[in-house]
Structure 1
């Protein structure tokens, strides 16, 4: 069976991503969510001409060397001066307070000398200075945040300023995880002679949780057909939007996952990808559930999740897929064979700027090298190898 190109595999997966479903959440729960409807301002901000300084509001034309203006009142945030300023008058004003009618400038208090009920100034007035005009930040009806934008603290702050108590965000998928393998034990377990510690579900859970409404770990199941089917039945009964298995994705006699999934009504689209690490990837559907069968080797599992599952989740939420980085190499890369290589690399800062330092380790079970990587260099099929300084394409490992 021929290997499927990475782009074709990703295109096939994304064709199964459902339409975005919006849900309302309070601002206190919106951090990290993705906006499903544009945020429109509900008022002008500021809603009045406001002082940008503590000082005095007056008519600029009244300020001259030696001139004194009568102080007729005070304007502070939440307690505006009720009247209007006449010629020869000034109002004590504080930052954020409404500028009184008739005033057209503010002079900060450091340039003012108060003498009883009068004030004179040590600097000339500049028309309109230190006044934030009504609507200077945004105006009623203005679109402030577009659909498909991830809500950061600064964006939540502007939503609050726009008087939005709730936001319409994309519903996140429910994700299930299931690890397979007779040899696997949980972290913290004393190791037997033929056992290894399971890491896939923990790494994948941490990677994918920011995109998920719920992340359910269905544990480890041994390589036994009936036990596998029972655990899969339990996993599907939880009605996940996405189910991810790890292990048993290749063609060995103990790799039972493909047959079990088919027996349970999963329609498999493909299961061999032209990439390394991570060739034995399965993808299919069961009703509305997307099913990924990832390799058991931990580096392969994490890399295939980065290349295929994270773009799926971004599409699910309505996020645009970010462009891959292009950075110069800090060292040569070796020649590549017929499969696209997602090469581990660290980001190093040289005097001439950031560079990618290739990591020589390619073993798909070598987790410490992946933990030390910041990026994956996307090395094309049959690439002859590139010299240091060459610009290459790279995929950030920890980007949202």
Structure 2
């Protein structure tokens, strides 16, 4: 029956971080594919292998500016060559196979028939009609053979490749003008709070607070492969929340609701979603900060509820939103959860006895990690120095300087 919490998965505040992430992973699949022009494919994920359409180079070419000569003539002791034309990139190779002649070439120019070495300009004495070797030749011949880079039909990029600048270069060089990529999931953010106004507007009011979550959450969405469809501020009224949710569900794959995640008088997001048919998968995770986090699906849209406190919201977004978007955009879920062990740069207090702790930290110049002091769920200024999250398992003891701890880049 719509409007009631259905037992799709355990919904208990005692659920651990790893269990909640496992449930989230079980519900996340790539959002689909689309073919796009290469110019629009930057930082997208290939949905199929990419093969070269041409040889590279397409013919044997010079790998340096200089003069193309016959290696056999050089080895026979020929020091002086008559100049016989020039070859430039995009030209047809000059005719003529006279072994005693040299052809001026530039990098990428086709090598003339019978020429298999390039002598750099600086190693010759040139006259209008001849060149003469002025010193010993290097071992390299400075020639790129046809198809020595890759051959037509060769696999150049496997499925699942992130098209960063280097990979985009390979795609272009292999003459692929369009590619099949995973679709970017659309993300909308609704930030709850009657006290909130847009950043830059609070100073003109008596008691309003800047919305510090919508913009960074949308930025995180783009960082992890999503299209940031838009954000919306919503007062703590059920009618307003319902209207905002209904509009958001029309054009997004993921709806993030920041605030209204707990059980206070103004925490209305979950009741509104329940009435709209939300299928819940978990509500409440044993983690500090961020225990009120919840997740469900409404009509195929992933809905992630974050606590309203800024530090807690950003921590939970990094631990749940990032891997969800990573999967929807075609990358592995685990790609966003690459925990690494690093030594502590300063001693750390004992962990919370009941909950895992995800604490902000920063890197030291010696490769160590230091946990930032005076952290709380509502703190904002510590994020100015935060570079990573440090995980402290529930009940963990105090740790000395140098002890290894799991860390995750923010």
Query: So what's the TM-score if we normalise by structure 1?
Result: 0.92
Who is 2:322 aligned against?
310
Distance 1:60 1:126 in 2: 12
- Select the residue among 243, 250, 271 that pairs with 1:230: 243
- Select the residue among 345, 355, 365 that pairs with 2:361: 345
Alignment of 1:258-273 (within 5 A): 258-273=270-285
Who is 1:97 aligned against?
109
Unmatched runs of 5 consecutive residues or more in structure 1: none
More displaced 10-residue stretch of structure 1: 115-124 or 239-248? 115-124
Q: In structure 2, do the counterparts of structure 1 residues 3 and 126 end up closer, same or farther at CA, with 3 Å as the change threshold?
A: same
Q: In structure 2, do the counterparts of structure 1 residues 9 and 51 end up closer, same or farther at CA, with 3 Å as the change threshold?
A: same
Who is 1:212 aligned against?
226
Contact 1:26 1:165 in 2 (8 A): yes
Contact 1:180 1:246 in 2 (8 A): yes
How far apart are 1:79 and its partner, in Å?
A: 1.7
RMSD: 1.9
Distance 1:82 1:196 in 2: 74
Q: In structure 2, do the counterparts of structure 1 residues 231 and 54 end up closer, same or farther at CA, with 3 Å as the change threshold?
A: closer
Distance 1:239 1:115 in 2: 71
- Select the residue among 391, 395, 398 that pairs with 1:385: 398
Alignment of 1:45-194 (within 5 A): 45-63=56-74, 67-125=79-137, 129-190=141-202, 194=207
Q: Cα deviations across residues 270-320 of structure 1 (Å, max 9, x unaligned)?
A: 111011110001100112101111111111111111000100111111213
How far apart are 1:334 and its partner, in Å?
A: 0.9
Secondary structure of the structure 2 residue equivalent to 1:292:
strand
Distance 1:310 1:68 in 2: 66
Query: Is 1:274 paired with 2:274?
Result: no
Secondary structure of the structure 2 residue equivalent to 1:370:
helix
Higher relative contact order (CA 8 A, sep 6+): 2
Unmatched runs of 5 consecutive residues or more in structure 2: 1-11
How far apart are 1:126 and its partner, in Å?
A: 6.0
Q: In structure 2, do the counterparts of structure 1 residues 148 and 81 end up closer, same or farther at CA, with 3 Å as the change threshold?
A: closer
More displaced 10-residue stretch of structure 1: 169-178 or 84-93? 84-93
Query: Is 1:395 paired with 2:403?
Result: no
Distance 2:376 2:294 in 1: 21
Secondary structure of the structure 1 residue equivalent to 2:395:
coil
Secondary structure of the structure 1 residue equivalent to 2:90:
coil
More displaced 10-residue stretch of structure 1: 223-232 or 251-260? 223-232
Q: What number of residue pairs does the alignment pair up? A: 392
Q: In structure 2, do the counterparts of structure 1 residues 246 and 264 end up closer, same or farther at CA, with 3 Å as the change threshold?
A: same
Q: Cα deviations across residues 146-198 of structure 1 (Å, max 9, x unaligned)?
A: 22222112221221111111122110111111111222222223465553222
Who is 1:10 aligned against?
21
Distance 1:358 1:151 in 2: 34
Contact 1:66 1:120 in 2 (8 A): no
Distance 1:198 1:151 in 2: 33
Distance 2:206 2:124 in 1: 83
How far apart are 1:99 and its partner, in Å?
A: 1.0
Query: Is 1:331 paired with 2:377?
Result: no
Contact 2:13 2:291 in 1 (8 A): no
Distance 2:127 2:360 in 1: 71
- Select the residue among 37, 41, 53 that pairs with 1:30: 41
Query: Is 1:355 paired with 2:368?
Result: yes
- Select the residue among 389, 393, 400 that pairs with 1:376: 389
How far apart are 1:127 and its partner, in Å?
A: 7.3
